Amino acid sequence: MTKQPSSFSRRCWFTFPTRGEVEQPIIWQMSRKFPDVMFDIRQASVQNEIGIMAVLLTGAERDVKGAIEFVRSKGVTVEPIEKSVVEG
């Protein structure tokens, strides 16, 4: 039996600022590149020209941080969410 890494979570706003990012399968690409990061889309508003998503990412700290950097590298703005915003 292998030891599971401690669970690390980040709640983030992902903002897809242009049609180019909205039309790309960035979340799918992230899930393929970081298969051990669980993601939960808590809220989303996606239009033709902009998309905003509240996402909870959970996994090993290095994997979660790597997934966030990957999403940023695709042109998506990533900002932390206050805990009360997701729960409330």
59 half-sphere exposure, CB direction, 13 A CA radius = 16
Please give the model's pTM, rounded to 2 decimal places: 0.84
Give the residue with greater pLDDT, 82 vs 12.
Answer: 12
């039996």: which residue's tokens? 1
pLDDT in tens, 49-75: 999 999 999 999 999 999 999 999 999
Residues 6+ apart with CB under 8 A from 68: 10, 12, 57, 78
Q: How confident is the model at residue 83 (pLDDT cuts 50, 70, 90)?
A: low
The third-level CATH classification (topology) of the domain covering 8-82 is Alpha-Beta Plaits (3.30.70)
pLDDT in tens, 16-51: 999 999 999 999 999 999 999 999 999 999 999 999
pLDDT at 54: 97
Domain ranges in the chain are 8-82
